[in-house]
Homo-oligomer: A and B are copies of this chain.
Amino acid sequence: MDAASLRKLLRRVAAGRASVEEAAQALADLPFAALGYATVDTHRGLRSGFPEVVFGERKTLPQLEGIVGVLAGRGQPVLVTRLAEDKAEALLRRWPQALWHAEARILHLPQGRRPRAGRVAVVCAGTSDIPVAEEAAVTAAALGAQVSRVYDVGVAGLHRLLRRRAEVQQADAAVVVAGMEGALASVVGGLVGVPVVAVPTSVGYGANLGGISALLTMVNSCAPNVAVVNVDNGFGGGFYAALVSRGRRR
């Protein structure tokens, strides 16, 4: 119910063409129903051009085919994350125009208006962190960002990172992916002035506590331009950085 139909209803009441009771009834669920539409609308406007995202893990192939079918039908881009290879192959047979990013485990069906975002640097510590970094990079790219990959620059060999500092500095936002002790986020935060989204990974052993140690490191960062998302949440890191990189043009 929008402003127009509300006025129309009130006019019918004023004209005696609708009883008070009828109108009260019609307005009964207004607060909730109307909000729903408003919210959907808002979100659509907000994220204009951003793809719909499907979390692929734990979903069966028929479920995935159903969901992707509906979303694809709307002409919007679709992103399926955490997808197993065999399911990806099945989906590709049906949507051959989709792109399969094996290391990121993301299937991307680009269509409709191309989203626009800024520059995002994805930095990662070790080779074992690359799958999570790729999830971030592919996500950010699908959201319209230009992505620079700065991989294998862990703090145990700081010179590797220092050599590539400029690439990170020139981005609008950086995703830093690191497991083990997760110190890379603070170091990058100290070296550049851009907002850093830190993604702890479960890579490590012993006292890494499945990534919680790295998460604590990052949350306690002494650099004020570091904020943190969940362990192994490459998608979240890439999404957040792309959103930030869009800046004022939202």
Contacts and interface: CB of A to CB of B under 8 A. Distances in A.
A104 to B, nearest CB: 16
A31 B38 CA distance: 7
B211 A206 contact: yes
B224 A213 contact: no
A174 to B, nearest CB: 12
How many copies altogether? 8
Interface in A22-60: 23-24, 27-40, 42-43, 45-47, 53, 58-59
A110 interface: no
A228 B196 CA distance: 11
B249 A248 contact: yes
A94 interface: no
A191 to B, nearest CB: 6
Contacts of A182: 181, 183, 217, 220
A42 B210 CA distance: 34
A24 to B, nearest CB: 5
A69 to B, nearest CB: 16
Contacts of A230: 205-208, 219-221
A30 B31 CA distance: 6
Contact of A47 (B35, B193, B212, B220): B193
Given A39-B158, A217-B181, A218-B181, A248 B118 contact: yes
Nearest to A202: B206
A10 interface: yes
Given A30-B30, A32-B165, A125-B222, 12 more contacts: A3-B28, A27-B30, A29-B166, A36-B162, A38-B159, A39-B158, A156-B190, A158-B190, A181-B217, A220-B230, A224-B235, A226-B229
7 contacts: A36-B160, A46-B169, A46-B193, A183-B186, A202-B206, A208-B220, A248-B248
A-B CB proximity, top 4 nearest: A247-B247, A206-B231, A46-B193, A36-B159
Interface of A: 3, 6-7, 10-11, 13-14, 16, 19-21, 23-24, 27-40, 42-43, 45-47, 53, 58-59, 63, 118, 125-128, 154-160, 162-163, 165-166, 169, 172, 180-183, 186-187, 189-195, 197, 200, 202, 204-233, 235-236, 239-240, 243-244, 246-250
